[in-house]
Amino acid sequence: MQLSNRITHITGGGSDGWDVFYKARRMVGEGQPVIELTIGEHDISTDPVILSAMDKAAKGGHTGYAMVPGIQSLRENVAKRIEERTGVETTFENIMITPGGQAALFAAHLAVCDEGETALYLDPYYATYPGTIRGIGAVATAVQTHAEDAFQPRAEDIAAKAKGAASLLINTPNNPTGTVYSRETLEGIAQVCKDHDLWLISDEVYDTQVWEGTHLSPRALPDMAERTLVVGSMSKSHAMTGSRVGWICGPKDAIENLVNLATHTTYGVAGFIQDAADFALNQGQDLEDKIAEPFRRRRLIAKDILDGQNTVGLIPAQGAMYIMLDIRATGLSGEDFANRLLDEHLIAVMPGESFGQSAAGHVRVAMTVDDESFARALTQLCEFAAKIA
């Protein structure tokens, strides 16, 4: 039987540079001691205090259908967190709880793009972006950013593709580049959105992982709250990747319509998971800082190692749990470099090409192993690069 075009075209086909990741996973499965610096998964599990709250909620009976928009106290808690951090008035009516940031990205695009409309996103990009857009039937159109700008997007490049588009998706702090968009960048983006009547979908799932500069939510810029949908998640901030809990923050009427969508798709998020998320948010910044701390530390380790050599370039690592390395001096593509590093040194990193063409000749290193293994792997990576260059 024929499947729909929509579903069979989600990935877009072709090699997407993820082969290295799957090869590394196979090698690990065969018992080889590969150091995996690939995906954005913490090297710690969800904190036991959060798990206790989850257990208590489940055993206390919160196992039935939960309210589709999210439980009231979590919606209020998320709204409070956003208002405190951005200064923009936000109530529970601006929030819908989703099964993680990914479901929020999908729902946000479905809310603002009609079939066949153009949805813009920035290259390099988080791996699911183009597939998410294709999945809702819109046309995924990439706007390139440039290594020489440390991957800060240029407003004029976005404007050049904005005519007739319905939305623009951005992500700061950024995966895969580690770039935190500056106020100037975000003001430029906001202006393009207003000039071209675009919705802005702002993926802020790394908002607690900022090492340099400050995170600015574009929803806080003048006249942007009415055209911005913010995607948030407990995955990275609270090491709750497997719990699948996140949110969309946006105008009240957008949220009302998104709740209709959720009623016909996810039917909400498990109540005991939401209770645990609510508990986690109540722990405040201390818990978030504790979870972000290893990445803050490892980014300094990386800076030290990279400062001590001159083959591999470090894109200023301002935020998120990754560093992006420029390996163009080796003459290899990111894909060839990553493959050889894996084969010859059992170190797995992601080729820049997995995240789009703007990151060709780069590799993304996730800072997700213990400090000592991280330092050893990075030192070996630099030595390997120097030998080839």
Q: Interface with ligand PLP by CB under 6 A: which residues?
A: 40, 100-102, 126, 171, 175, 203, 205, 233, 235, 241, 246
3-state secondary structure at position 249: strand
CA distance 58 to 52: 10
CA distance 18 to 334: 12
We find the least distance from the C-beta atom of residue 58 to ligand PLP, in angstroms, to be 21
Reading across the β-sheet that carries 362-366, which strands appear in turn?
35-37, 347-351, 362-366, 322-326, 313-314
Residues whose CB falls within 8 Å of the CB of residue 332, separated by 6 or more in sequence, listed in order: 340, 361, 388
Closest CB to ligand PLP among residues 127, 306: 127
We find the least distance from the C-beta atom of residue 215 to ligand PLP, in angstroms, to be 13
Closest CB to ligand PLP among residues 164, 242: 242
We find the least distance from the C-beta atom of residue 173 to ligand PLP, in angstroms, to be 9
Residue type, 224: M
Closest CB to ligand PLP among residues 178, 316: 178
How, if at all, do strands 139-144 and 118-123 pair?
A: parallel
We find the least distance from the C-beta atom of residue 152 to ligand PLP, in angstroms, to be 16
Closest CB to ligand PLP among residues 129, 279: 129
We find the least distance from the C-beta atom of residue 135 to ligand PLP, in angstroms, to be 14
Name the residue whose CB lies closest to ligand PLP: 101
We find the least distance from the C-beta atom of residue 202 to ligand PLP, in angstroms, to be 11
76, two tokens: 């209020």
We find the least distance from the C-beta atom of residue 2 to ligand PLP, in angstroms, to be 30
HEC profile of 324-370:
EEECHHHCCCHHHHHHHHHHHHCEEEEEHHHHCHHHCCEEEEECCCC
Residue type, 2: Q
CA distance 175 to 153: 14
DSSP conformation class of 218: G
CB 257 within 8 A of CB 111: yes
CA distance 146 to 127: 18
Helix (H) or strand (E) holding 378: helix 371-388
Closest CB to ligand PLP among residues 227, 238: 238
Closest CB to ligand PLP among residues 181, 384: 181
Reading across the β-sheet that carries 139-144, which strands appear in turn?
95-98, 246-249, 228-233, 199-203, 167-171, 118-123, 139-144
We find the least distance from the C-beta atom of residue 309 to ligand PLP, in angstroms, to be 28
Closest CB to ligand PLP among residues 86, 171: 171
Closest CB to ligand PLP among residues 316, 319: 319
Residues in the chain: 389
Closest CB to ligand PLP among residues 126, 199: 126
We find the least distance from the C-beta atom of residue 240 to ligand PLP, in angstroms, to be 8
Structure-token match 């030595």, residue found: 383
